[in-house]
Chains A and B, each alone.
Chain A
Amino acid sequence: GAVVSQHPSRVICKSGTSVKIECRSLDFQATTMFWYRQFPKQSLMLMATSNEGSKATYEQGVEKDKFLINHASLTLSTLTVTSAHPEDSSFYICSALQGASSYNSPLHFGNGTRLTVT
């Protein structure tokens, strides 16, 4: 149980275009999802917290107009990288919180999306 599906796994796009990444909780409802960015050989950097039915909360330094997050249902959150540039190339990972938000609730992660902007 507790499967999170992230799609696509890899995407290559041209500079200036937009890319949408989907994160779905397949067998549970997730009121809260998280989006991370991971640079090579580094840990995960939290970009934003996505709450169903409300605006996402962005971490300091993350441009909300560039990284659009939509969490329209209890099983789907999307991250759209708008006007992508080569420096946006990275590994993006989503995670979902199963059940009520609690500090001892584990996160369930998607398999990540490798974005390459040419």
Chain B
Amino acid sequence: AQSVTQLDSHVSVSEGTPVLLRCNYSSSYSPSLFWYVQHPNKGLQLLLKYTSAATLVKGINGFEAEFKKSETSFHLTKPSAHMSDAAEYFCVVSAFTGGGNKLTFGTGTQLKVEL
């Protein structure tokens, strides 16, 4: 079994300040982890992925995430928020189980960026 918990449904930051979106996971198998961003009425765009290589993963638009197995976390960070970062962010865990690949989506975190 696997699950994803996004600890904050809403995060609000000021433009230029750091962003932290938290994600914890559980999986019976060695998982891959992804962060996707969704702008209003749009599909999801891949920000970054972790696939058992380097634990610190750099993605697009200045985002990065660190896989911490001991804490079962994969938090998304960005040093300086931009207005265009305002969107919904989803943490996703993927694992190959006996029944095939299984993707589990978190419930999402709405990021608001204020002037």
Contact = CB atoms under 8 A, between A and B. Distances in A.
A114 B43 CA distance: 11
Given A43-B90, A103-B101, A110 B49 contact: no
Interface in A4-32: 4, 6, 9
Contacts of A9: 41
A102 B44 CA distance: 19
Interface string A94-115: 0100000111101111111010
Interface stretch (B18-26, B60-68, B70-78, B105-113): B105-113
Contacts of A62: none
Interface of B: 31-32, 34, 36, 41-46, 49, 51-52, 90, 94-96, 100-103, 105-108
Interface in A24-61: 41-44, 46
Given A93-B43, A102-B101, A106-B34, 4 more contacts: A42-B108, A103-B102, A109-B44, A114-B41
A112 B42 contact: yes
B56 to A, nearest CB: 17
A49 to B, nearest CB: 9
A103 B96 contact: yes
B43 A112 contact: yes
